[in-house]
Amino acid sequence: MSEAVKTINVLLLGAGALGSMFTWRLQVSGAVQVTAVCRSNYQTVKDAGFRIESHEFGTHTYRPDKVVRTVEEAVAQGETYDFILVCTKALPNMGDNSEMIAPAVVESKTIIILIQNGIGIEDPFYARYPGNPVVSAVAHIDVSQPEGGAIRHGGLIGISMGLFQPTAYDADAATKALQALAALWNEGGAPCAVVDNIQALRWLKLVWNASFNTVAVVSGGNDTRKMLDNAECKALIRNLMTDVYRLGEAVIGGPLPTRRGMKCPDDFINDTDSRPHTVLPSMLMDFWAKRPMEHDVILGRPVKIARERGIPVPYLESVYALLVMVEKSYSA
């Protein structure tokens, strides 16, 4: 990298499977320095980095440029960041996590990118940081962290992102900065696009998350292969997807976009069925580890929106009720 090229400083909050993969693909450019806020995996990542086994990129060790325990530590020496990548679980039912990044946010300068699942995840960040660009990002990736610092990645990785409510700051400058970051992701083999219809893409991703993710848990703990091999389970997944399509299209006021040619529930099912390896949905991993699950943003908020609009989503409502009860059974 030429010394004349400005280094992009990125702060990662949520250094798990998803966050480590996306910051790794930025770091390989040589133009980005990554500071990772690690919690349970801090010592492992600090000492040895992330051990990544990827069908797409091979086996590698990824070492963030700096590993810290807290956001406060990340700015203790006066460090500033061009981007903050928030890759934590979206758990608004357990509290507002927008405050966590406050020490690192410089008003009107820091761009906040939310790489999280679900609907309505941007609202608390937009309310707390009205002078900063808040970016909604939708990731498509097959990745897990079976143990601290050990990352297993399949062949799927990609991200779309767009400005949320671009009214209180210089949207043109923010878009230009996003496009520069997107170019680095593309160079690093993680296809990225800056789009205007990010909310439509968020609903499109919900088609998979509200079905495979949730049914993996309420079916008793099953991966995609086992779910699709059961006719009744497969039918439930299809019905959940149909609910999401009906609701999402009502919210955005038109058809959901297509992705890789997928434009209906059966396309999503066939795509998942044809993958060369079984997928372990992230919610299934949380269930096995007895961690809080993202049921509020993946099911709860869509169900609330549906009720407000008078749109029937019986399968979403039923699975949401079951999922909340499952979590209560081990979190009480």
- For the residues of 305-332, what is the DSSP string, one character each? HHHHHT---HHHHHHHHHHHHHHHHHH-
* The pLDDT of residue 147 is above 80: yes
- Say if residue 3's pLDDT is above 60: no
**pLDDT of 144 over the 90 cut:** no
pLDDT in tens, 20-69: 999 999 999 999 999 999 999 999 999 999 999 999 999 999 999 999 99
Per-residue pLDDT for 1 more than 80?
Answer: no
**Percent of the chain at pLDDT above 90?**
87
The string of pLDDT tens digits covering residues 189-231 is 999 999 999 999 999 999 999 999 999 999 999 999 999 999 9
CA distance 65 to 288: 31
Dist. CA 253–CA 203, nearest whole Å: 12
- Secondary structure string (H, E, C) spanning 132-189: CCEEEEEEEEEEEEEECCEEEEEEEEEEEEEECCCCCCCHHHHHHHHHHHHHHHHHCC
* Residue 5: predicted pLDDT: 57
- Written as six digits, the tokens of 47 are 């000492």
